[in-house]
């Protein structure tokens, strides 16, 4: 027996199984300096992001970035499987002449890898036969782990995509309520109608719960942070930042009944943003450009006042807003740079059309183009 190979095989299996348990099953933040999942994403996301940033076309760049989340999930599962195969192969290799190989491979370790691969995927070819009872026991144990691994993978995908779908619902609903991309100014302005104060309270209550669900699901499965929304102007980061911006404006200088709910939503959303930045090991950014200079602040409040929103005119409004922004903007900027998700502005001078209007316009143009193509120059349809 080769003790070093035996120890190496046991260590390999231990780290792979522990990492899979912490990533998939453990419903809380996984700790530890050395984790296979953390190493995998560190070695793959940064090069992928670097290559994607070289693509100049915005839509193509966003499409390339959106591929990474699902592909990395497949790659991570493949990494776990490769680690299990290699670990059991080391265990088999610790015992000389453990198998009878009719092919007579010149490298016994290749035979061990072959047996390990066919066993963990329960192929049951039977062309290589173990000599010892211990090796037979290891093969049975590996086949059991292989079945459990397949079951784990089958259960992992629905949980991830279920959490992703629940996250995207509120982001899609924010489109008509705050614009594309969502901004705090548009959100408050579009709720300046009669009864809008009650509507914005309901909206903030929904986003308070959404932030709590985001905190719970994305800490358990940080991979979801890399899953991107359907449109280039939407993301979970831009949504939660716009809500934080709106809450900060409501708290700092708007005389509405929604200020109390704004404080509750601000606390929960800020909690989620800070914790996720820590999960992804991103330090707060302090050298970012000011998203709301004082002159823009006055312009926002002037236009809100013209829209019928009751605003505060005291001298400390800007100061209160600045203090609130310091509590979350540095973390949002760190996540924005790491995930390549742009932050929304507070205010857009020339707002773009909402996504639901743009999609309808593009579809109408496509249908019109289809009719033109189907119709000949003399007016007859082909």
* Within a domain: 139: no
One-character DSSP codes across 17-58: HHHHIIIII--S----S--HHHHHHHHHHHHHHHHHHT--SH
DSSP letter at 350 equals S
Residue 375 confidence (pLDDT) above 70:
no
What pLDDT is recorded for position 3?
A: 86
57 and 204, same domain (yes or no): no
Residue 380: pLDDT band with limits 50, 70, 90: very low
**Total count of domains within the chain:** 2
Domain that holds residue 167: 160-349
What pLDDT is recorded for position 361?
A: 52
Residue 368 confidence (pLDDT) above 60:
no
Residue 369 confidence (pLDDT) above 60:
no
105 and 59, same domain (yes or no): yes
* Within a domain: 22: yes
Residue 180: pLDDT band with limits 50, 70, 90: confident
Contact 289, 342 (CB under 8 A): no
Which of the given ranges, 138-142, 195-199, 207-211, has the highest pLDDT on average?
207-211
What pLDDT is recorded for position 275?
A: 94
* Within a domain: 378: no
292 and 174, same domain (yes or no): yes
Mean pLDDT across the stretch 14-30? Answer: 83
What pLDDT is recorded for position 366?
A: 47
219 and 293, same domain (yes or no): yes
* Last residue of one domain, picked from the residues 112, 131, 150: 131
Residue 67 confidence (pLDDT) above 60:
yes
* Within a domain: 193: yes
Residue 155 confidence (pLDDT) above 60:
yes
Residue 40 to residue 298: CA distance in whole angstroms: 47
Q: Give the 3-state secondary structure percentages of the chain, helix then strand then coil, rounded to 5.
A: 70, 0, 30
117 and 178, same domain (yes or no): no
Residue 125 confidence (pLDDT) above 80:
no
218 and 309, same domain (yes or no): yes
Contacts with 140 (C-beta within 8 Å, 6 or more apart), sequence order = none
What pLDDT is recorded for position 58?
A: 86
92 and 221, same domain (yes or no): no
* Last residue of one domain, picked from the residues 114, 131, 148: 131
**Strand 99-100 to strand 129-130: parallel, antiparallel, or no bridges (unpaired)?**
antiparallel
117 and 172, same domain (yes or no): no
Contact 64, 55 (CB under 8 A): yes
* Integer CA distances (angstroms), 246 to 167, 183, 184, 346, 350, in order: 19, 8, 4, 8, 19
Q: Bridge-partner residues for 262, per DSSP?
A: none
Average the pLDDT over each of 91-95, 131-135, 342-346 and give the range with the smallest value: 131-135
What pLDDT is recorded for position 272?
A: 95
What pLDDT is recorded for position 324?
A: 93
What pLDDT is recorded for position 98?
A: 74
What pLDDT is recorded for position 231?
A: 81
Angle between helices 133-178 and 3-20 (to 10 degrees): 30
* Within a domain: 145: no
Phi and psi of 79, rounded to 5°?
-65, -45
Residue 337 to residue 50: CA distance in whole angstroms: 12
As a whole number, the mean pLDDT across the chain is 85
What pLDDT is recorded for position 32?
A: 61
Span 69-122, pLDDT tens digits: 999 999 999 999 999 999 999 998 888 777 777 766 667 788 888 888 988 888
Share of the chain above pLDDT 70, in %: 89
Contacts with 337 (C-beta within 8 Å, 6 or more apart), sequence order = 282, 285
Question: Residue 77 burial (CB < 10 Å; 0-12/13-18/19+)?
Answer: middle
93 and 212, same domain (yes or no): no
184 and 310, same domain (yes or no): yes
237 and 314, same domain (yes or no): yes
What is the enclosing helix (H) or strand (E) of 129?
strand 129-130
Span 303-333, pLDDT tens digits: 888 878 887 767 788 888 889 999 999 999 9
Residue 365 confidence (pLDDT) above 60:
no
* Within a domain: 146: no
Cis peptide before 181, with omega less than 30 degrees from 0? Answer: yes
Span 229-287, pLDDT tens digits: 988 788 999 999 999 999 998 888 777 667 889 999 999 999 999 999 999 989 999 88
User: Does residue 59 sit in helix, strand or coil?
Assistant: helix
What pLDDT is recorded for position 378?
A: 42
* Within a domain: 188: yes
Mean pLDDT across the stretch 170-192? Answer: 88
* Within a domain: 55: yes
Share of the chain above pLDDT 90, in %: 41
288 and 340, same domain (yes or no): yes
Phi-psi bin for 54: left (phi > 0), alpha (psi -120 to 50), beta?
A: alpha
């Amino acid at each position: 027996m080769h003790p070093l190979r035996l120890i190496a095989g046991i260590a390999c299996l231990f780290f792979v199984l522990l990492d899979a348990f912490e990533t998939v099953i453990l419903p809380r933040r996984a700790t530890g300096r050395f984790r296979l999942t953390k190493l995998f994403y560190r070695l793959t996301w940064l090069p992928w992001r670097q290559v994607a940033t070289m693509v100049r076309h915005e839509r193509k760049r966003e499409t390339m970035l959106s591929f990474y989340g699902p592909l990395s999930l497949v790659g991570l599962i493949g990494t776990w499987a490769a680690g299990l195969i290699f670990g059991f192969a080391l265990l088999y290799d610790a015992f000389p002449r453990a198998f009878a190989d009719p092919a007579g491979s010149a490298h016994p370790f290749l035979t061990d890898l072959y047996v390990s691969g066919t066993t963990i995927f329960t192929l049951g070819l039977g062309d290589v036969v173990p000599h010892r009872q211990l090796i037979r026991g290891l093969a049975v144990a590996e086949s059991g782990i292989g079945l459990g691994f397949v079951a784990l993978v089958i259960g992992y995908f629905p949980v991830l995509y279920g959490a992703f779908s629940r996250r995207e619902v509120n982001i899609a609903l924010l489109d008509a309520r705050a614009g594309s991309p969502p901004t705090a100014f548009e959100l408050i302005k579009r709720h300046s109608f009669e009864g809008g104060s009650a509507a914005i309270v309901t909206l903030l209550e929904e986003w308070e719960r959404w932030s709590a669900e985001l905190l719970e699901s994305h800490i358990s499965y940080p991979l979801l942070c890399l899953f991107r929304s359907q449109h280039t102007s939407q993301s979970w980061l831009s949504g939660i930042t716009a809500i934080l911006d709106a809450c900060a404006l409501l708290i700092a200088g708007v005389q509405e009944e929604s200020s109390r709910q704004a404080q509750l939503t601000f606390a929960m959303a800020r909690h989620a943003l800070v914790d996720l930045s820590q999960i992804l090991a991103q330090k707060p950014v302090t050298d970012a450009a000011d998203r709301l200079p004082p002159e823009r602040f006055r312009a926002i409040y002037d236009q809100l006042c013209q829209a019928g929103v009751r605003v505060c005119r005291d001298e400390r409004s800007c100061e209160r807003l600045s203090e609130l922004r310091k509590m979350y903007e540095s973390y949002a900027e760190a996540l924005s740079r790491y995930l390549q998700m742009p932050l929304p502005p507070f205010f857009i001078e020339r707002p773009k059309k909402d996504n639901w209007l743009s999609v309808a316009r593009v579809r109408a143009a496509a249908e019109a183009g289809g009719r033109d193509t189907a119709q000949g120059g003399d007016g007859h349809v082909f």
